[in-house]
Amino acid sequence: MRGCQWLLSALLAGCLLAACTTGELATPRTSWGDPLIQGVYTNNTNVPFQRAPELGTREFFTEEEYAAREGRPVAVETTTVATDAHYEMTDYGLDPLQNPMVRNLRTSILTQPADGRMPPLRPEARQRSDAARAAQLARQYDSARDRPLQERCLLWAHEGPPLRPVGYNSHVQLMQSPGHVVLVTEMVHGARVIPLLPSQPDSGGLTRWQGNSWGRWEGDTLVIETTGISEKVFPRGAYIPLGPEGRIIEKISRTGPRTIRYEFLVTDPSLWEVSWGGEFPMELSDGPMIEYACHEGNYGLPNTLRGMREEEQKGSRDGRQQ
């Protein structure tokens, strides 16, 4: 690319990139000097979150194996609900195979521990988690507040931190301004506003559902730390929140003209004996991120609660008749 000029639209900040004059592509930068990572990206993938047990510690597929996997149905971990309603995903462009996959030879998104599997909860944490799950199931139809945040269209697990690829609507928008970075997930259009600071800010005791995050640049890599995640949000594999020592580290770095790498590490000695984390690539999307509107759970919520009240009344009537 000697003698050329590389120009990239930065969407919101209108940042002009440096020319390529040395034969190697310079790291693009914003007009105020930070590495440029903003844009609309897709993380659509057919790589599972956890590695298949039979693969052991094998991290990558060969090129031939990767080619053979392309076009296969995508194994997506989602929350399913038994229902009589049915529609074809392809009718609405929701089949992941209808959209370009981001090239990734990894056998799993998880890279730590070495087997690419979630570490088990500590025994005491497992007991607390099981008890919390039983209590939640016992009251799950008592009120709207006892229904899952995802069902109520408030927060989905893949929004993070850490971010996680999801089966469809798999776009993430990164925006930059002097002193801040914003991460917006297409589904459910949640935005995390992250101040760039040299150390952890004083939150004044206030907590956010997704925790209190702050970031810094280490070379050309954006490093984001998050603590204080709300008790309403549970980490993967648990029905209890992160403890006071819980911490999530995210890293975002440019890997090419159209690609970035997202890395994450979750640590909490009260829940796991070891940390767990992973990485996945994201690629610039050629189109804008379309607004995602989530209302189904809220529309159905009155009927969900009304149905349980009917069941309770029926049980009372049956009890009186016996």
Compute CA 262 distance to the chain's CA centroid, rounded to the nearest angstrom.
11
Alpha-helix residue ranges (DSSP H) falling in the chain: 63-69, 123-139, 296-321
Q: What is the pLDDT of residue 319?
A: 67
DSSP character at residue 1: -
Q: Which helix (H) or strand (E) holds 247?
A: strand 247-256
Structure tokens, 71: 């076009």
Distance, CA of 38 to CA of 177 (rounded, Å): 10
Whether 300 contacts 311, CB under 8 Å: no
Q: What is the pLDDT of residue 207?
A: 80
Residues 6+ apart with CB under 8 A from 258: 283, 284
At residue 52, φ and ψ (nearest 5 deg) are -60, 130
Q: What is the pLDDT of residue 22?
A: 37
Per-residue pLDDT 10s for the chain (322 aa) are: 333 333 333 333 343 333 333 345 578 999 999 999 999 999 999 899 999 999 999 999 999 998 887 666 555 444 444 445 556 767 766 666 677 789 999 999 999 999 999 999 999 999 999 999 999 999 999 999 999 898 888 899 899 999 999 878 889 999 999 999 999 999 888 899 999 998 888 888 788 899 999 999 999 999 999 999 999 999 999 999 999 999 999 999 999 999 999 999 999 999 999 999 999 999 999 878 888 888 877 788 899 899 999 998 988 767 666 6
Distance, CA of 49 to CA of 29 (rounded, Å): 32
Whether 41 contacts 171, CB under 8 Å: yes
Whether 225 contacts 247, CB under 8 Å: yes
Structure tokens, 14: 């209108």
Read off the pTM: 0.84
Minimal CA–CA distance to 183: which of 216, 213, 203? 213
Whether 171 contacts 285, CB under 8 Å: yes
Residues 6+ apart with CB under 8 A from 197: 214, 215, 216
Distance, CA of 264 to CA of 277 (rounded, Å): 5
Identity of the residue numbered 237: G
